[in-house]
Amino acid sequence: MTDELLVDARSVRKEFGGLVACNDIDFTVERGSIVSLIGPNGAGKTTFFNMLTGSYTPTAGEIVFDGRDIVGLPQHKITALGIGRTFQNIRLFGAMTALENVLVGMHARLDSGLFRSLFRTPLQRREERQGRAQARELLAYCGLSPRAERQYARHLAYGDQRRVEIARALATDPKLLLLDEPTAGMNPRETNAFVDFVRKAREDRGLTVLLIEHDMRVVVQVSERVTVLDYGEKIAEGTPDEVTADERVRSAYLGTKPVA
């Protein structure tokens, strides 16, 4: 059973003072699937993401990733176990080049430390060379032109910044890729291209993808399962069709008729 589940979160709860951001959420992700987490603003989606990546520690509950309880592990260890992410508002390292951004993503996969770097050992040089080549490949894979590789991330166009961010997340060599509103600010054509890209990346790299998404067309197109959060509660779960037909989801998104 656990073999098929990459993520198995049980009654995960997060409180900020008196505010319950995530109220005992049960949530599972099957290996190799593409799953969406949707809900109105403030529903607790990003909070849930942050608990998966370890930047928040749940108030209660457990999160099993790949057969291992990850609650309380520091972020970098969770990344090393295989969770890579992008951010809702792009958070690249602005004063680093696109290539360097991706190399930072590889941090956990490379292991030259202080002394190897100081003495430029052959091992360090080779690792550095291979890392750079790999980073270039990843950037090309995500559709960044080679010309942009050496530009500072903050000088890149918005679309390119998105590409670099995904390349950087892929550089951590994740089993699970978390995408936080990846299509925000994209036009319909870019959005379609993105949907194709996510599918392709899953096939090529054996990924499992969990995304937070507002654009329902994307959700319906790309995801196999959808979980809906509202006010920190899970209100629905199922295939995109089931979820969009659900009465509670509709009222959460569109509001309920006022009761006379």
Partner 1 sequence: MRRPRLPALPAATRTPLARLLVAACFCALLIYPWIYSKYLTTTLTQWLPDTSTAFVILAFTVMGLGLNFVVGYAGLLDLGYVAFFAAGAYIAGFLASEQFANAGSVVFGGTVLPGTPGIHLSPWLVILIAAIFTALLGIVIGIPTLRLRGDYLAIVTLGFGEIIPQFVRNGDNLGGFNLTNGSFGMNGIDGLGFGNRVHHAIHALPANFLNELDSRWYYWTALALVVVTIVSSILLRDSRLGRAWIAIREDEDAAAAMGVPLMRTKTLSYAIGAFFGGAAGALITLQAGATSPDAFSLQVSIFVLSMVILGGIGNVWGVALGGILLAYVNYKGLFAAGNTFNSTFGTNVDIPEYSYLIYGVAIVLFMLVRPEGLIPSARRRAELHEEEEEENLVPESSTA
Instruction: Rule CB under 8 A: say whether 53 interacts with partner 1.
Output: yes
In whole angstroms, what is the distance from residue 152 CA to residue 135 CA? 15
Binding mask 131-160 toward partner 1 (x if CB under 8 A, else -) reads x------------------xxx-xx-x---
Are 232 and 20 contacting, i.e. CB atoms less than 8 angstroms apart? yes
Taking the least distance from each CB to partner 1, the nearer of 146 and 188 is: 146
Determine the size of the site formed for partner 1 (CB under 8 A).
45
Residue 256, judged by CB atoms within 10 A of its CB (0-12, 13-18, 19+), counts as exposed
Query: What count of residues does the chain have?
Result: 260
Are 37 and 57 contacting, i.e. CB atoms less than 8 angstroms apart? no
Could you give the C-alpha distances from 17 to 14, 20, 59, 229, in angstroms and in order?
10, 8, 11, 20
* CB of residue 258 to partner 1, shortest distance in Å: 41
Among 25, 38, 43, 103, binds partner 1 (CB under 8 A): 103
- Of 219, 217, 224, nearest to 202 by C-alpha is 224
Binding mask 58-97 toward partner 1 (x if CB under 8 A, else -) reads ----------------xxx--xx----x-x---xxxxxxx
Residues in contact with partner 1 by the rule CB under 8 A: 53, 55, 74-76, 79-80, 85, 87, 91-97, 99-100, 103-105, 107-110, 112-114, 117-118, 120, 124, 127-128, 131, 150-152, 154-155, 157, 168-169, 171-172
